[in-house]
Structure 1
Amino acid sequence: MDTTRRNVLKGLGGALTLPMLEASTRQAQAAGSKDTPTRLLVVGNPLGAHPEHFFPADFGKSFTLSPTLRSLDWVKDRMTVISHTDHGMVNGHGREISFLNGVLPANAAAYPEKNMSVDQVMARHTSGMVRYSSVNAALERGIRMNWTANGTELEPFTDPQKLFDHLFLNLSADEKRIRRELIERNGSILDAVGGQFASLKQRASQSDKQRLEQYATAVRELEGSFADRKSWVDRDKPKFDVSEHFRDYEVTVENRYNAIFDMITYAFQTDMTRVATVGFPNELKYTDIDGVTRSYHGCTHNGQNEDIIAELVAIESFQIAQLSRCLKKLDSIKEPNAEGTMLDHTMVLFGSGMGYGGTHSNRNLPIMVIGGGFKHLGHVDARNASGTNMPLCNLYVTMLQRFGVERDKFNTSTGSFEMGWA
């Protein structure tokens, strides 16, 4: 192993194996080429951002970073901040769950993907190529970003230790045997259900057929999931040590998120997954951050009090600083089979399904994209000639295409977001 790579691995904080050699071989076999995979990392919050501090004051590639985004100065030429994009929903709480799909569960039947979130569309695309189709983490429940094709919310890992166990703890021989038996038993049950389903569908009404088709989608995904899981049971996971964070991870929000982001970075590096999401929930306490005395949610109800707004901006700046630290990790890792770094091959999306929690606005969502090999545009005004905000799903169409998913529409999209890639 070369010196540069050894230093990078040590920088991740642990005693590591040589996973990229095996992962690169698997990846090349799965893709039929030596192309480096494109990855997705979504970092989101449910309460938006204070607009005057988040959005830059000027547009174009040479824009001036806003106060909240200052920690991203080093990556400014590889980011695009998008103003005036949303999902076209009325203001109020409850709409923020549409961040990654553009539709609410009650309205999902009208769309081909129902309310499946864009990260899960990409995760489905990688099924069988990686150990985990996606990894979802937050320090508390409440972010509600991830939705399957049958409208089920995917709950994130909320304990960094449990996320570590999930990603890096190997099963014993007996546990592997039990897991194989369980997978085989569940697979046979699905086969039986599939036969009953076909018979039932022939006699169903039109509305019931729609419900059954939604169920069938879930069954097909489960069948694929069981098949994929069986192939991974006997493959050992890569080793990773995040003890430097776990020593006091219960004390500070920062250390706990450091652990989460580092684990996801290493999961990307070893090709355990290509899709990950990290959430900053609305009721999370940030009182270990200098100057913050209130809850995150409490700071959004600030009555335009400058002192409380300052606390809110401190929290939002902290979120961006955590993201910036993760981006630096990704940018420190050289891709073994391609030019550039892991950041150059990872689409990083930051945003929210709410524009600003202080007014419960669901317009002008705080959205930015970093890395991913895009030809970045700086700060963009996404309104059309008539002043109408761009559907956020237009951006998702472009990101899906960049990920390798061939499509020209996603839920409420009216086109794509014009941002090319190398």
Structure 2
Amino acid sequence: MKRRDFLKLSALGAAAPMNSFAAKKEDEFRVKLKKNVVLVNLDLGLYAPHFRDNGADCKYMTEIFFEFKGKMTYLDGISEPGMGGGHECQPASFTALRYDHRDLYTTRKMMSLDQKLADGSVQETRHKFLYHQVNRGSSMSWNRFEQPIPAISGANELYEQLFARTDKDLDKARIRRERDILAALSRNIRRQWTGTPQETDMKNSLDYQVDLLDEREKWLKVKKPYLKKTFGENEERNPLPSCSNNFDLVHEALMKQQTKIAFVQFGGGSLQRGMGFELGHHANGHHAGYPERIYACEQIDTAVLTNVRRFLRKLQESNIFDDTIVLFHCGMGNAAAHDSRRTASFLFGGGFAHKKSIKCLEGKKEHIYSTCNLFSSVLKQSGFRDYSFNSSKEVIPELFKA
């Protein structure tokens, strides 16, 4: 983690009022994950007619994921009640709660699914989780203190984290430096302590960061696997044409037991580079019916989902498909209208009792199953005893019925 990102993460603890709670490990009951979990997200969502129209017979199911029949589930019409719309839904893709709605829902917490999995599980791998942006996008991984997690950006940085040769002494020095920063922040809090909720939350957040450093230091004693780099330094300048590199690294991380939790995000920033389109993904998303913009959206979607399909094939070839939950989910259902309803959600592998399609919305407003129900289902299948997620204490039962 860069020092700037580290300071930003720590400082955010005092930015907004939050519920106080202890961050000590001995007070937490963690489980051993039964499954790997890989979350995949496209910031602005897919072109709506291609997944909203025709349900399970939509374009993406019949043209891209047809080979996974019986091994995947299309969540038809899924969304979260009360989410609203706008770009504020993007950071909430895996939290089911917008940042600006935190004070409206006092019993919920803006903590993303990947961090819920990491926070409630035993660390069995070098990296507790990977939050990886293929290219620049909105922050979508949020910890228990409702703070955004800095992302590993681009394939080169992901490779350095996972498989490059490293200097153990340098890593130790970095950890010592981060401890010094935390200690300095703690001293400042003690000197100026007035007992406000923000100060209590900040102290708990610092304790939490120290716990993370302890885990990192422990894994320094285990030899890091080395993998020869097979892609060029400049390939990530064209994110979609080269994103097979990113997925290959995530696959290797699962195979070499470097992580069990990964979040792969396609951001909006420069996503079109190398695709031959002048306008960015955001501008094309607001297509206004122009054929050339719709075509650009279609091509970007196809590139993203084709690489997801390739990743799924690699999981099958390496015999870990049933041991890996892969969830493609977007916060936007229709980016052209900033609409968060009826989002694109495809669930693969993981040993679920898959159905071709599960209907999640009755009519236009009545929710049969919400996004939180889906996230609770992932937690349950991962081995969590308490699989509640914000508004949900229930799973989608069809996913567990033969």
Whole-angstrom distance in 2 between the partners of 1:167 and 1:384: 44
1:343 aligned partner? 321
For structure 1, list consecutive stretches of 5 or more residues without a partner in the other structure.
1-32, 334-340
Q: Counterpart in 1 of 2:145?
A: 150
Q: Give a deviation string over 1:276-334, Cα, whole Å, max 9, x none.
A: 111111233325337x453211211211123321221111111100111111111111x
Q: Which whole-Å CA distance do the structure 1 matches of 2:204 and 2:355 have between them?
A: 38
1:42 to 25, 39, 42: 39
Mapped to 1, the partners of 2:188 and 2:381 lie a distance apart of 36
- Equivalent residue letter for 1:324: R
Q: Which residue of 1 aligns with 2:76?
A: 83
- The answer on 1:223 being equivalent to 2:221 is no
Q: TM-score, normalised by structure 1?
A: 0.78
List aligned pairs for 1:232-251, cutoff 5 A: 232-243=219-230, 245-246=231-232, 249-250=235-236
Indicate conservation of the 8 Å contact 1:134/1:273, yes or no: yes
Q: For residues 383 and 141 of structure 1, do their structure 2 counterparts lie closer, same or farther at Cα, with a shift above 3 Å needed?
A: same
CA offset digits 1:176-195 (Å, max 9, x no partner): 5524644765787799799x
Contact between 1:285 and 1:294, CA under 8 Å: does it hold in 2? no
What is the CA RMSD across the aligned residues, in angstroms? Answer: 3.1
- Find the residue that maps to 1:365 and give its secondary structure: coil
SS at match of 2:264: strand
Q: TM-score, normalised by structure 2?
A: 0.82
Q: 1:239 Cα deviation (Å)?
A: 1.8
1:20 — aligned with what? none
Alignment-derived partner of residue 394 in structure 1: 373
Give secondary structure in 2 for the equivalent of 1:349: strand
Match of 1:107 among 84, 87, 101: 101
SS in 2 for 1:231: helix
Identity of aligned residues (%): 20
Distance 1:239 1:284 in 2: 31
Distance 2:144 2:44 in 1: 25
- Check the 8 A contact 2:108/2:390 in 1, yes or no: yes
List aligned pairs for 1:307-346, cutoff 5 A: 307-333=292-318, 341-346=319-324
1:407 and 1:234 map into 2 onto residues whose CA distance is 32
Distance 1:120 1:251, change over 3 A: closer
Q: Report the Cα offset of residue 358 of structure 1.
A: 0.8
The CA distance in 1 between the partners of 2:172 and 2:262, in whole Å, is 28
User: Structure 2 vs 1, CA of residues 132 and 67 (structure 1 numbering), >3 Å: closer, same or farther?
Assistant: closer
Q: Return the letter of the residue paired with 1:413.
A: S
- What's the CA shift for 1:387? 5.0
> Which deviations, in whole Å up to 9, do the C-alpha atoms of 1:54-89 show, x marking residues without a partner?
23614xxxx435247622222122111112221232
Rg comparison, structure with higher value: 1
Separation (CA, whole Å) in 1 of partners of 2:278 and 2:184: 53
Letter in 1 for 2:210: E
Alpha-carbon shift at residue 408 of structure 1 (Å) = 4.4
Asked if the contact 1:299–1:312 (Cα under 8 Å) also holds between the matched residues in 2, the reply is: yes
Matches within 5 A, 1:175-214: 175-179=170-174, 181-182=176-177, 196=190, 204=195, 208-209=196-197, 211-214=198-201
Q: Which residue of 1 aligns with 2:351?
A: 373
Following superposition, the deviation at residue 352 of structure 1 comes to 1.0
CA distance in 1, matches of 2:327, 2:154: 23
Q: Could you tell me which amino acid in structure 1 is paired with residue 71 of structure 2?
A: R
Q: Does 1:64 align with 2:57?
A: yes
Q: Distance in 2 between matches of 1:293 and 1:92?
A: 24
Contact 2:34 2:381 in 1 (8 A): no
1:249-283 per-residue CA deviation (whole Å, 9 max, x = no partner) reads 14643453111111111111111111111111123
After superposing the two structures, state which structure 1 stretch, 302-311 or 271-280, moved more.
302-311
Tell me, what secondary structure is at the counterpart of 2:275? coil
- Say if 1:299 and 1:176 are closer, same or farther in 2 by CA, change over 3 A: closer
Deviations 1:372-405 (A, max 9, x none): 1111111221125895133211111111111122
1-structure distance, mates of 2:298, 2:78: 21
- Partner of residue 30, structure 1: none
* Partner residue in 1 for 2:257: 271
1:25 counterpart residue number: none
Specify the code of the residue in structure 2 equivalent to 1:227.
D
One-letter identity of the residue aligned with 2:383: G
Alpha-carbon distance in structure 2 between the residues aligned to 1:305 and 1:179:
51
Please name the residue that 1:420 is paired with: 400
Q: CA deviation at 1:367?
A: 1.0
One-letter amino acid of the structure 1 residue matched with residue 353 of structure 2: K
Between the aligned partners of 1:284 and 1:299, the Cα distance in structure 2 is: 12
- Residues 53 and 36 of structure 1: CA distance in aligned 2, closer, same or farther (over 3 Å): same
The total of aligned residue pairs comes to 369
Q: Which of 141-150 and 312-321 deviates more?
A: 141-150
Looking at structure 2, the residues matched to 193 and 232 of structure 1 have their Cα atoms a distance apart, in angstroms, of 30
* Distance (Å, rounded) in 2 between the aligned partners of 1:112 and 1:192: 32
- The equivalent residue for 1:303 is 288
Match of 2:156 among 156, 161, 164: 161
Give the distance between the partners of 2:114 and 2:242, measured in 1 at CA.
23
